[in-house]
Amino acid sequence: MCGICGYVSEKNINIEEMNNSIAHRGPDNQEFFKEKDIGLGHTRLSILDLRDESNQPMVSRSGRYVLVYNGEIYNFIELKKELEELGVVFSRHSDTEVVLEGFEVWGRDLFEKLNGMFAFSIYDKELNKIYIVRDRFGVKPLYYYSYGDDFIFGSEIKAILASNIVEKKLDYQGLYEYLHFATTLGETTFYENIKKLEPGYYIEYSIDKREYSIDKYKLNYEVTQSTDSLDDAIKNIRELFEASVKRQLVSDVPVGIFLSGGIDSTAITAYATKHYKGKIKTFSAGFDYDGGDNELPNAKFIAEHFDTEHHELSITGDNTIKILEEVNHYFDQPFGDAANIPLYLMTKELKGKEKVILQGDGGDELFAGYHRYLRLHHYKSFKFISKFFFLMQKAIPTSSSKYRGLRFLFALNQKDPSKEMAYILSQEMFDEDPADYFSSKVKNRLKKINPFQRYQYFYNKFEKLDPVNRALFTDMNIILPDLYFEKVDRATMANSLEIRVPFLDNELVEYAMSLPSKYKVRGKEKKYLLKKAFDGVVPDRILYGPKKGFGVPFQYWLKTSMKDFMIENIRGSEIYNNDIELLMQEHIAGKKDNGMILWKLLNLSLWLKKSGISL
C-alpha cells in the first residue's frame, strides 16, 4: 500500500513536496520521476517483494511505460503465469511489475482483469499519454485536478494542493451533500476544481492535446441474475469467500485481523487460520468511552477457539480535541462520521508494529446486515403504514427508541422515490433542511442544488430490482466508496497501515450481487444466506448470538469535554448565526439532541479555518 501523485504542467511544480505531503501513506521509500513537463511521485509501504528493486516509479522492461501504483492485486500470481506463457520475463516478485508488464501486453483490457484494491497511473512515453485508474469498488482513493493546460492527481487532495497552483474554491454541491450525508458523493469534493475518480473508471490524458476522457471499465451493477438454488448459493458463497481470504493472505510481511467478535470478522479468522502459515495475530479494542459494552469477550472466545495470537488494545479518548484535529488533517475535507476516531486510534496503537490487517467491511452491504434491509423486505406493509407518518410523528418523541422506525416511515412517505432511497440509506436527520441553518446568501445558493442527484442516478439504474436488492446495490455504489472506504483509507493510512477487505473480492461480489434478496433476508433474520454459508465454520455463539457494538459518543462529548471547543470554533466561524447558537444551547442543556448536525458544523468550521476558503 502506498501513495501516488503526479502532474502534467509547464509550471514550476515540486513533485517532492507533493510526495512529502502524503509520506504517511508510504514511510518505507519515496522516489519520483520527471521528464519535461511530467512528474510522477510515489511513497512506498513495502508489503510484497521488500527489495529496493520493487521501489517506484517503476519502468517497464521495454522502457516505454512508467508506473506509480497504490494497492494490492490479489490475483497477480495467476496473471503473472498468463504473462509468462505469453513470453514476458519478470525480474521481481511484486504485483507492481505484473500491472506494469500486463499493461504492455493487454493495454486497457488489463484493468478488468485485476482483482484487488488499487489506484495507479501509467505514463506511455510513445503515445505521450497518462492513464489513471481506480479499482471497481473504490477501496483506494484517487483525486484529480484539470484546469487549462494543467493536470494533477494524487491519492489524497493534499498532494494536489501541494502543487501550489490550485485556486481553492468551495464546491457547494459538495457542501450540501456533506450536510445531508456526512460526506461528498461520487466525483464531488469540497473543492470546485478537484474531483474524485469514480470506482471502476479510468482517465486517458493526452499530453500533446492537453485533453482527457473518462471511461468505465467495470461497474458494480453489471451483473446477471443467478438462477442457483439456495443450497447451491450457500455452497458457492462458502467456497468463494474461503478463496478470497486465502488470496488476501499473500504478503511478505505478517498479516493480522481486526477481530470485532461479529460474524464477518470471525469468518475471516476461521479461514485465515486455516490457510495462514504460522500463528495469525488478531486485534480487538476496548474504548474508555464504550461503557463496557463491547465485543472483547466474544473476540477473546473466538481467538481461543481458533488459536490465534490475540491482542486486546485498550484505547483512551481522553484528549478528544487533539484527536479530532489530528484526524481532520488526514481527511483533507470535512467528514461527519465520527467512527473515524476509534479506527484512527486503533491503527495509531499499531503504527510501526503491523502493516497488513484484514477486516470485515462489505459483509453487511452484500448480505443485508442492517435493519433497513429487514424493513425493506416488508416494504409494502411499511409503505402503507407510512401514510400515517404525520400522525405518528406527533405521538412519538425524538428521544424514543422508536424514532429510528419513524425515520424509516418518513423516508417511505417521500413522493420522490430517489429521496426515499436516500433517506433510507443514510442516518442523517430527516425533519429539517440543514441549509436553513446558514445565512440567507448561502441558504439560497444551497437550495438551488440537488443533494440527492447521486441517489436519483442509482435509483434509476436499479428501478427494476426489488426494494432490498435496490438498497444493497445503491449502498455498494454510494455508502461503501464514499463513506466507509473514505473513512477506512484515511484513518488507517494516516498510520501507515494497509487494510484488506476479503468480502470485496471480484468473484465473490459478482456472485453475491446476482442472488435474489430472498436468500439474504428471510422473515425477521438478516444475513440469512451468510449465516447458512458459515454454519459449522463460525461458532453458533457468534453466528446466532445478538450483535453487539457501540456508537462513538460525540453527542456526549459536545456537552462535556468538547463543549468549550465547539462553542469557540463555531462562534469564531463565518457560519455562525443565531440559529446555530440555538442548536448549541439546546444540545448543551439537554433539551434536544442536535449532536449530529453540530458535529458536522464543527468539522466544517475547522476545515474552513484551516483551508482559508470562504462560503
Kindly indicate the confidence band of residue 545, based on its pLDDT and cuts at 50, 70 and 90: confident
- What's residue 402's pLDDT? 57
Q: Cα separation of 297 and 310, whole Å?
A: 12
Q: What's residue 359's pLDDT?
A: 95
| Residue 168 contacts residue 613 (beta carbons within 8 Å) | yes
**Host domain of residue 561:** 553-615
Which of 562, 575, 559 shows the shortest CA–CA distance to 607? 575
Instruction: Using DSSP bridges, classify how beta strands 129-134 and 116-124 pair: parallel, antiparallel or unpaired.
Output: antiparallel
Strand order across the beta sheet in which 143-147 lies: 29-35, 38-44, 2-8, 150-154, 143-147, 194-196
**252 and 183, same domain (yes or no):** no
Mean pLDDT of 325-347: 94
The number of distinct structural domains making up the chain is 3
**Does residue 291 carry a pLDDT above 80?**
no
Using the structure block, give the residue that is written with the C-alpha cell 423516508. Answer: 411
Q: Tell me: do 178 and 253 sit in the same domain.
A: no
Residue 44 sits in the same domain as residue 101 = yes
Residues 97, 54 share a domain: yes
Rounded to the nearest integer, the mean pLDDT of the chain is 92
* Per-residue cell: 214: 473518462
Using one digit for the tens of pLDDT, what is the confidence trace for 3-35?
A: 999 999 999 999 999 999 999 999 999 999 999
> Do 120 and 138 share a domain, yes or no?
yes
Closest C-alpha to 69, from 38, 102, 36: 102
pTM: 0.94
**Higher model confidence: residue 427 or residue 140?**
140
Burial class (CB within 10 angstroms; exposed 0-12, middle 13-18, buried 19+) of 126: exposed
In this prediction, residues 106-130 reach a mean pLDDT of 97
Spatial distance between the Cα atoms of 206 and 554, rounded to a whole number of angstroms: 47
Domain end, chosen from 191, 216, 241, is at 216
- The pLDDT of residue 400 is 46
Amino acid residing at 530: L
pLDDT in tens, 575-596: 999 999 999 999 999 998 899 9
pLDDT at 399: 53
Domain identity same for 74 and 46: yes
Q: Which residues pair with 68 in a beta bridge?
A: 121
Mean of pLDDT values over 47-67: 90
The C-alpha cell at 386 is 407510512
Please tell me the predicted confidence (pLDDT) of residue 427. Answer: 64
**CB-based contact 169:155 (threshold 8 Å):** no
Domain CATH number, residue 30: 3.60.20.10
What is the average per-residue pLDDT within 556-563? 93
If DSSP codes are grouped into helix, strand and coil, which group holds residue 317?
Answer: coil
CB atoms within 10 A of CB 322: 9
C-alpha angle 572-574-577 in degrees, rounded to nearest 5:
85
Task: Say how far apart CA 162 and CA 16 lie, in whole Å.
Answer: 9
Biggest distance spanned by C-alpha atoms of the chain: 73
Q: Same domain, yes or no, for 300 and 360?
A: yes
**Co-location of 530 and 602 in the same domain:** no
53 pLDDT higher than 90:
no
Spatial contact of 173 and 188, defined as CB atoms under 8 Å apart = yes
- Choose the final residue of a domain: 216, 249, 269: 216
- Cα angle 613, 194, 452; round to 5: 90
Angstrom distance (rounded) from CA 122 to CA 431: 48
Same domain, 169 and 317: no
* pLDDT one-digit tens code per residue, 402-440: 556 677 777 777 878 778 878 877 766 566 789 999 999
Please give the Cα distance from 323 to 317 (Å, whole number).
Answer: 8
